[in-house]
Structures are given as structure tokens and as C-alpha cells.
Structure 1
Amino acid sequence: MAVTGSTSTTGFDQSTFDAFLAARNEPEWIQDQRREAFAHYQRLLAEPLDPEEYKRLDLRTFRPEQYHLGGQQAGVSGQAAGLSTLMRDRAEFAGSVVHQDGHCVQSSLAETLTAKGVLFGDLSTLLARHREQLEPYFLTRAVDPQTDRFSAWHAAFWTGGTVLFVPRGVEIDIPLYSLISLAEDGVADFSHTLVILEDGTSATLLEETSSTDPKTAGLHVGAVELIVGQEARLRYVQLQNWNGSVKHIAHQSGRVARDAMLQWTVGALGARMAHIHQDVHLDGRGADAQVNGVTFATDRQLLSYYTQQTHHQPDTRSDLLYKEVCRDKSRVIWRGMIKVDPDAQKTDGYQRNDALMLSADARADAIPGLEIEADDVRCTHGATAGRVDDEQLFYAMCRGISEYEAMHMIVEGFFSAVYDRIPVELVRETLSQVVERKLGIGE
């Protein structure tokens, strides 16, 4: 089955791209990379999307020409006004970066970390200043611009985003924070997150997306690249919290080296439609990845994840747990795959997806899968879907608990298996509060 969306390039055609390049004050190597990506984008527009990934998404109403790039850069000293964020003002961070409509408006990093060679800030600025450290990783090892039209579109038009580079042997104990926000109506945001941990390092990056207005329409075509060096430890959290008028499409990929650990937590909470292509690659012996997902869809939201855990080397481990709640007329889609290369003996791969539906019109689709080419592995998967037990609700209400409180207890209990895997208290508390808030939507 061929899957096609809109192939119109109006708004992002050759003339728009040429004007975009001319307005960018950036090194020639970046411009060359953009030109190559735009050529891929034009070619891929004429090709069908992968039916395994996209056939359950209805892209017939998706029109790129409805969106435009953000206005003039606000400057790094500016402030993002009107933002309603989940984590920004609730903790102390070792560094903070804020982007609005593709432009960096705030950036800071503790002087002690700067003195150790840590880079944390606006991607555009740091790519130009630190090419030697960053170019080998940027759109080369994790996210492939030729994956599909969306990855190529992003690689051609990326604007802003956050980079974290931790040099060999440096350990960062206090979390860092990144915010990606939309303010102007109809803006297309192409923010890119690049995290590079060299050997023997550790860091925690908490990232979230937010809209300044509850009704402003927007588009996010993003990418996340997580590079974890040998014996390094990375905790990365991304909470997607756009308003209900934003469409969100992103390619995200992690590469985990020998004896390294990646803990990756995602929260899919906002957006009218969201689709994430999420890959984890276990590249070195002893590499370990834990992927946690919390999804809560309401009203007519469509939230979709396409995940892959790929084991390239022996003695690697991956553990994915996604928990999804949907109510009203929302829909959640998860398609997961564990892949094991021929040389990846002694692989331990696990994936599980559980969905809880709070209303009769809600829908959840879960499709786990295995592709194993080695003969000495342990790979398992599972998926469940069910509705709230009426007897459980009745039992609670007979004991003086309101229906709302009972539903909250059931949903919190459902998500608790994921919460227990998250070591950052701020993230656990934030997710719990969002769940409580979303239980009141659609009444």
C-alpha cells in the first residue's frame, strides 16, 4: 500500500529555500549540507512513505504550505513571553536554553561547566564556533536525512535547537534544561537537539515543548540525536506539551557505545497530531538502553510512535516500556520492533506496550515485532489494551470516593510502572500533575 501525503512544495519550494539560505549567516559547510538535504527532500516528496510506519496516519489534510518559517531572530538576551511550561520554573538547573519560533531567546550555563569544556546552548551558534567537536556527529551518525521526506525537510530547514557536548571524563550532577516553544500563528519549527557525551561522562537533559497560546496553530518538524560514548551515562527526557492546534513530526535516534547507558523518557501529552520515529542503536558490547513512554490522549488527539531497538553487538540490552491512556475520541498508535544483527549474540531485548481506554470511542493500536538474525538471544515483547473496570469504579465510589478521584487513582496506578523507572523526581511529579489535569479535559 502506497502512503502519500501532500506533495505540494508551496511555501518550502526552491525559491523559498534559496531565500532562506541567503538570509542565514552560517559557514559554507552547513549551507552545503542543507543543499544536499533539500535535494533529498525534493526527491522524496515524489516517493511514497513507508507503509509500515505511516499507513495508520491520515496525512491527506496535511498541507505544508499552510506554515511558514518564524520571523526575525529575537536575540539571545530576549525572553519568551507568555509561556506556560511544565518544568522551567520548578527546579534549579546547571544550564538553560530557550527557543521560540526557531530562535534562541535565552541561554545560560554554569561557569564551572564552561571551564571544564562543556558546550551547552544554541545549536546554530555552537556549530559555527565549534565545528571540530560537533560536525562529525551532526546529522551523520543518528538521524539520517534520507530516511523520508520529513527527515530531509528538517535537515534542509533546521532553525535553532539545543546542543550539549560533554568532554571526556566530565560528570554533570545537576540537570540541564531545554525549552522549545511556538508563539507566532502558523510557524513551522525545525528545532534540532544534539547531545554528545564523550567517553566516561554523565549528564541529564530535561527538554519540553510548549505553546504560548492555547489556540495558536503551528508545526514542529524536529530531530533529536543522542550520542553516548563508551562508559557514559545519559538521562534524556522530552515532554511534548504543544497545544491542541500543533502538528508534531520528528525523527529521534540514540547511539549507545560500549558499556554505556542511555535512559530515554518521553511524554506525549499535547498536539493535535504527533508522530515520532524513535530509534535506539546498541553499538558496543555491553551497551544498555532503557526507553520509557507516558502517553495521554484526549478529545480527538492522534499520537503515534514508531520505535526500533537495534542490537548491533553482543551482550547488549534494551528495555522499552510504553504506557498509554486515551479518552474521548482520541487514538494512540504504537508500532515497535526489536532488531538483532547476526553478530549480536547474548542480546537481551524487551518491549512492552499497555493501553488503557477511558471511553468507548477511544482507540489504541499496538503492534510489537521481532527481527532476529542471531541464535543465542533473549527477546520478548508484549502488548495489552483494555478499558477501565466498571466494578473497580463502583467499588471505590461505594466507599465515598468520587468518580473523578477513583479514575485518577486508576490512571495513576496504571502509569506507576513507568514512574518507578524515572529517577528524576521533578519529572515524576510533572507527569503526575499533567495526568490529573488531562483527566478533566473533554468533560
Structure 2
Amino acid sequence: MTTATPTSETIPGGFTEASFEAFLKGRDEPGWLVDRRREAFARFRAFAWPTSRDEEWRRTDIRAFKLDAFAPPSPPSREPGPAATAAFAPLWESLSSHYGTGVAHVDGSLVHRPDPAKLGGAVFVDLETAVKDHPELLRKHLMTDVVKPSDDVFAALHGAFWSGGSLLYVPRGVKVELPLFSIAGLTAEGRTDFGHTLIVLEEDAEATLVRETASAGRGETPGLHVGAVEVVQEASSKLRLVNIQNWDAATWHFTRERAVVGRDASLQWTVGALGSRLSKVNQEVALAGERAAAQVNGVMFTTGRQHLAYFTRQDHQAPHTTSDLLYKGGLKDHSRTVWKGMIRVEKDAQRTDAYQKNDNLILSDSARADSIPGLEIEANDVRCTHGATAGRVDEEMIFLCQARGIPRATAVRLIVEGFFANVYDRITLDPVRETLRQAVAEKLGNS
């Protein structure tokens, strides 16, 4: 006897035992994956809910967030309506014109598949397909050693309920010439996105992946994203990874993202933190092999009452590793950013070279930026530096521009663009630089 696939209406609201069982019934998954989901759900139920007494959450207040107001993602078999899919067509067409091929999910359901002819020998598929076609890869890597359900309550919640997302697997020696992309879209009907991204590059492999999130037709409808990104890079591999987070101002965004970089491998990771009502992001890079290198670039811009909290960690585990992190933030209105960075150097990671910096430009009297750099060093032969700045637009610079006939609003825009220029210059993909420039300019022009 077959079990009827439930619709989203048959999955009870909230993330309870009943809703979890209904969620599992709507999926056709192997026993090992179901067992992992059950273990993650048990961890989720065992975690205490974050409060301001927790150091991790002391500057990020989520008392207004009500998890019970949301329901688990719909089954993969339920596709979004034509209007929902059409809402993201311009973004799909734009990315398709700049990059090779991509995958798109709307409300957690697959709406576009990559073109295999443009993958150059790599595997790039939605995660539900990967469960069936590449179980050995998922069984080995999916939430085992990189991001784990034991990391925190949201990682456990994601481990139990992940739905949608993609696998990028590049075999040994394969170099994917054209950049790949993925889209996660959220509408008022879907309300929740639990997409997961798993990237595995074998020895000497190379690839570029651009990930974008966006919202459409949502108005003030609350939305929720609980996600994870896992990156595994073996020896001498090279990866360019871009995350552009551009949810609407009613969406809550929680994600844990971590890359493990092997011997002689290199990672360039660019983050655009632009949207959401509130974001709490943990972004970590583990330099696990000798001479591993990572460059991390961040562009943050907040307006209204947005609250973006990004916690970064550069974890040096092997000798002769390098990391270079630069985050820049612009803040308007009553918005707030929290950046907390940590450079961790293990005892055996001699000759580490690590740098981190966070600069903030405050554009209103009510905005606030908290910058907290940190070092934990157990080796005795290292070079580690960090810094953080926060300041307002220099009125003298504005006056000098106005004295040359430049209107005040234009002067401020030029100063802001100059502030972000050195982080833009580090980004090696022209379309990404332009996307971030346009997004910052648009937010700067809107109240």
C-alpha cells in the first residue's frame, strides 16, 4: 500500500514531532538519510533556545522571532505555481547571460536544472536528485564533518528539515571553465526555505559557483530561511564561491557555512549581505592542509531596522597557511550590524599568516555597528593582525564636493562607493562586482 504524499496543508504548523513525521512521509529517502534526520531532530529538541544570556546571541535579539509561526518545507513533489516561477525569471535570465549554467529553487522546489553539456565533466544537480544518483558522496560528506547538527540549534533544525539545494562535485583534475550559479527564491506562499549547498572539489579541481537568494511578491508576509553551506576542497583545488543574500525585509535568515581547505588548495569566498529582517550567519574557513590559502570578502549594507550579525572564523590547522579577510559595512536609518571575527591558530600551525579587518561607514544618527575582532594563537611562529573601524561620512569631503558643484546626495554616493572600492577590487568576477555596486547604490538611494 502506498502512502499519500502530503501537501503543505497536511504538515502541521511549527517544527514538532507530528510535523517532522509528516515531513518524512512526503519524501522518498534511503534509511541512512532518514536516520540522520531523526538524529538531527533529536538534537534540535534537546537544544536550549538562544537567549541574550548566551555570548553568541548577546547582541542579536530574536525574541520577536516565533518559530511556531512557520511550517516545514513542502514535499519536493509539490511545484510552485507559474506566477511564482515567473517572478524569478528576470534573475534567471540575468545570471544565465553572465555564467555557464545553473539550478533554481522556488519555495524549496526545483524549477530549473543545469545543462549537463556546460558542466565540463563536473556533477551539478539538485540535492534530491543527488540523494538518488550520488548517494556515496552524500553519505560521506552531508553534514558529517563540515557542518554538523551538533553545532547549534539552527544547524540541528536544518539537519532535520533540509529541503532543496544543490550538490557540486568536481572530480580530480577537472576544471570547470564557466562559472555556475544557483538561485533560491521565496514567495509569500512558500514562506520557508531550508536549502543546503554541498561543494566537493577533488585534487587539482577548479570551479566557480555564484549563489543568490531573493524574494518576490511577499510584502510583509514573514519568511524563514534556515540553511547550510559545506565546502570540501582536496589538495591543490581552486574554488571561487559567491554568496549574495538579498531576502526581503520580512525574512529571517539563519545559516552556518564552513569550508575545509586542503593542502595547497585556495578559496576565494565573497559575501554580499544585503537583505533580510534579521540575519545570524556563522561563516568559517578551516585551513586544514599545509599551504592552504583563503581570501574572504564581505560587503554589508543595511537600511530600515535591519539587523545583520555575521560571525567569521579563520581556523589555521596546518603549517604555512594564509588567510585574508576584509568585511566592509554601510549602515542607514535604524539598522545595526554585528561582526565578530576570530583568527584561531592551532599549536602545529607554525608560519601562519592571517589578517582580518572590518570597516563600517555609518550614514545616520541611529545606526549602530559592533565590530569585535579576535585572536586565539597557540603557535609561536606566526604573523596575525586584525583591526576594526567605524565612522561617519566626512562632512569636509562632502563640502569639497559641493564646492565643485556636486549635489550632496551625489557626493555621499561617491564617498560610499569609494569606501567599498578596495573590497570590490578583490572580487575577480565582474558581474558580481557590478551586482554589489548596484545593490548598494539602490539601498543608499532608498530610505
The alignment covers a number of residue pairs equal to: 432
Q: What residue number does 2:191 align with?
A: 187
State the Cα deviation string for residues 107-148 of structure 1 (Å, max 9, x = none). Answer: 12242536x2x2112112112211123321110121111011
- Does 1:123 pair with 2:127? yes
1:67 to 70, 77, 91: 70
**Identity across aligned pairs (percent)?**
47
Amino acid at match of 2:156: A
Q: What residue number does 2:26 align with?
A: 23
- Does 1:132 pair with 2:118? no
2:266 to 237, 261, 267: 261
What's the CA shift for 1:84? 7.4
Further displaced range: 78-87 or 338-347: 78-87
What's the CA shift for 1:214? 4.9
Q: What residue number does 1:199 align with?
A: 203
- Does 1:12 pair with 2:15? yes
Pairing 1:3-402 to 2, within 5 Å after superposition: 11-45=14-48, 51-71=54-74, 73-75=77-79, 80-83=85-88, 88-90=93-95, 91-111=97-117, 113=119, 116=121, 118-185=122-189, 187-215=191-219, 216-402=221-407
The 2-side partners of 1:84 and 1:401 are apart by 38
What's the CA shift for 1:104? 1.0
The 1-side partners of 2:434 and 2:187 are apart by 26
The 1-side partners of 2:369 and 2:119 are apart by 44
The 2-side partners of 1:96 and 1:437 are apart by 26
1:440 to 432, 440, 445: 445
Distance 1:178 1:47, change over 3 A: closer
Question: Is this contact kept in 2: 1:317–1:347, CA < 8 A?
Answer: yes
Amino acid at match of 1:201: A
Question: Is this contact kept in 2: 1:87–1:430, CA < 8 A?
Answer: no
Amino acid at match of 2:239: L
Amino acid at match of 2:26: A
Distance 1:47 1:358, change over 3 A: closer
Give the SS at the match of 2:87: coil
Give the SS at the match of 2:85: coil
Question: Is this contact kept in 2: 1:87–1:426, CA < 8 A?
Answer: no
What's the CA shift for 1:98? 0.3
The TM-score, its normalising length taken from structure 2, stands at 0.93
Question: Is this contact kept in 2: 1:226–1:253, CA < 8 A?
Answer: yes
What's the CA shift for 1:23? 1.3
Distance 1:161 1:398, change over 3 A: same
State the Cα deviation string for residues 249-306 of structure 1 (Å, max 9, x = none). Answer: 1000010000000100000001111110111000000000100000000011001101
The TM-score, its normalising length taken from structure 1, stands at 0.94
The 1-side partners of 2:300 and 2:78 are apart by 33
The 2-side partners of 1:282 and 1:310 are apart by 6
What's the CA shift for 1:346? 0.3
Amino acid at match of 1:165: Y
Amino acid at match of 2:431: L
Give the SS at the match of 1:206: strand
Distance 1:138 1:60, change over 3 A: same
Further displaced range: 260-269 or 185-194: 185-194
Question: Is this contact kept in 1: 2:52–2:61, CA < 8 A?
Answer: no
The 2-side partners of 1:68 and 1:402 are apart by 49
Give the SS at the match of 2:326: strand
Distance 1:48 1:329, change over 3 A: closer
Q: Which has the higher helix share?
A: 2
Distance 1:87 1:315, change over 3 A: farther
Runs of 5+ unmatched residues, structure 1: 1-8
Amino acid at match of 2:429: V
The 2-side partners of 1:77 and 1:175 are apart by 29
Runs of 5+ unmatched residues, structure 2: 1-11
Runs of 4+ in 1 over 6 A off after TM superposition: 47-50, 76-79
